[in-house]
Structure formats: structure tokens, C-alpha cells
Amino acid sequence: MRVFLDTNVVLDCLLKDRVYREASMALMKMGEPNNIWFRIASTSIPTIVYCARKFVPQEVILERIEEINKTCKVLSIGFGEVYTALHSECPDFEDAMQIAAAELESDVIVTGNAKHFRPYTALPVFTPDEFMAKLREHSA
């Protein structure tokens, strides 16, 4: 299963006091052994660095970015995705670009902000908690 991770899911793993921290961390540990192949938008990486830099030491951020590179396929955001996002009804341009990237190479989207995704994509959209519950359902 190809799982697209919204920027906030990765931030959940880096920052304390996040709503989906535990589920996001558990999901990131699932990966390849469970036939889960993660995807992330290239635009997420600078956003993660920018958001985390106030709360997390630079070395930790760099380690996490290296882990992302090993565990996630980084999907490029090019003009096609930008064009699609510009013509999307999604009110959040960054989310619209991520949806455009996800729709090319993903089976589901996992995000902490499902309301910005569900109405604007045909892909199934889950919060980290919902997705982990779904995985537990299928393994039972």
C-alpha cells in the first residue's frame, strides 16, 4: 500500500504535544515490513525544517530528514502539480499541491487535517488514528 504522508504527520513525530503524535510515530515504524510504502511531497521538507527549528535541535532535524529520505519516496512538486493546485477547489494551496502529488502515486492520504483533504480528492483520507485503527482491523 502506498501511503502519502501530509507534512503534519511528520511534524507529529518531531514535536511534542501534538494531537496525533503517538499514532504518527507508530505508523512511521510500520513501513516496509508491512508492505506500506510511504510518500511525502518535496515541499514538505522545507516546511518541516522551518516549523521544527524553533523547538528541535538542528542535528535532530537533520537526522529526521535523513530518515525521511530512507523511509519515504519524496514526490517532486513540479509545474503540473502547481497547475493542478491552482485550479483546485481546495482553499489551502499547500494542501492542494500535496493532493496533486499524492494522486499520482498513492493509494491513501494520512493527515492530521482531514477536512482540508477529504472533499478535494477521490483517494481515501485518514487521520493517523483512523489509519492505525484500519491497519489493526485488517491484521486481526
Q: For the segment 94-104, what is each residue's pLDDT rounded down to a tens digit?
A: 999 999 999 99
pLDDT at 84: 96
Question: What CATH number has the domain bearing residue 88?
Answer: 3.40.50.1010
Q: What band does 86 get if pLDDT is binned at 50, 70 and 90?
A: very high
CB 17 within 8 A of CB 122: no
Going by pLDDT thresholds of 50, 70 and 90, the confidence category of residue 32 is confident
Across the range 107-120, mean pLDDT stands at: 95
- Tell me the pLDDT of the chain averaged across its residues: 92
Residue 13 has what pLDDT? 87
pTM score above 0.75: yes
pLDDT for the residue 30: 85
pLDDT score at 140? 64
Distances (CA, A) of 50 to 27, 28, 37, 43: 23, 21, 25, 11
Counting the structural domains of the chain, the total is: 1
- Region 109-124 average pLDDT: 95
Q: Which domain holds residue 56?
A: 2-139
Give the DSSP letter of residue 95.
H
Q: Per DSSP, what are the bridge partners of residue 39?
A: 4, 73
Residue 117 has pLDDT above 90, yes or no: yes
Q: What is the mean pLDDT of the segment spanning 77-85?
A: 95
Sign of the four-CA dihedral 77, 79, 85, 88: negative
Among 17, 35, 2, CA closest to 110: 2
